[in-house]
Structure 1
Amino acid sequence: MDDLSHALRLPKEVILKFSFNNDKYYHRVEMKKKTGGIRHIESPLRELKAIQRWVLRTILDKLSPSVYAKGFVRGKSILDNAKPHEGNQYVLNL
C-alpha cells in the first residue's frame, strides 16, 4: 500500500476510499440493446478512472499473460481461442 500510495502520489486514505466504497465511484447508465434488452454500463468516475489507467499502464501492461490466455490480449482473436478446440465434439464456454 505504501509503494502504491507513493507511486500514485496519493495518500493511502484516498486509495482505501476507492477500494472499500467502490459503489459510490461509478456512474451507472442503462442502454437499450438492439435485441430489445437493456445493457447496464458502470463507468468509473474521473479520479478512479485515472488511478485505474495508471495501474494498467504502469503495472499490468508490463506483465505477460498466460500462454493460454487469448481474450483481451493484443494481437489475439476469437480464432486463436477456437483453434486448439478444433475437432472437439464439445467446448465448455464459461
Structure 2
Amino acid sequence: MQRPDDLPEVSESVWLGDFVRGPMVFSVFQTLEDAEAGMYRIDCRCGSEPRPVGTLTADPFTAPVWDTAWAGDAWCAWIELHARDLIAPRPPTGT
C-alpha cells in the first residue's frame, strides 16, 4: 500500500494505511514518540485537510480516546474495527 501524496509529513508517526466510508478517508498512524506503548492516531479527510478522529492503543481492551467532534458518533465502533485491522490484521477465516 502506498502512502497518499496529500497526507502531511509527520516525522513522529508512520502511516499504516487507509479505509473509506462514503466520502470519508480514514488514515491510521503509529505514533513514534511512544512506540513502545503502541499508540496509534486516526485522522479523517473529506475533501479538506486531515482532521483528528482519535487515538487508541494496540490493546483491544483499552477504549479509544475520541476527538470531541467524534465522541459518541455512531461510526466510532466501525472506525475502531477498521483501525485495529490495520494495526494488527486478523488472520483470514475459512480454510
Higher relative contact order (CA 8 A, sep 6+): 2
TM-score (norm. length: structure 1): 0.29
Larger Rg: 1
TM-score (norm. length: structure 2): 0.29
**Structure in which a larger fraction of residues adopt helix:** 1
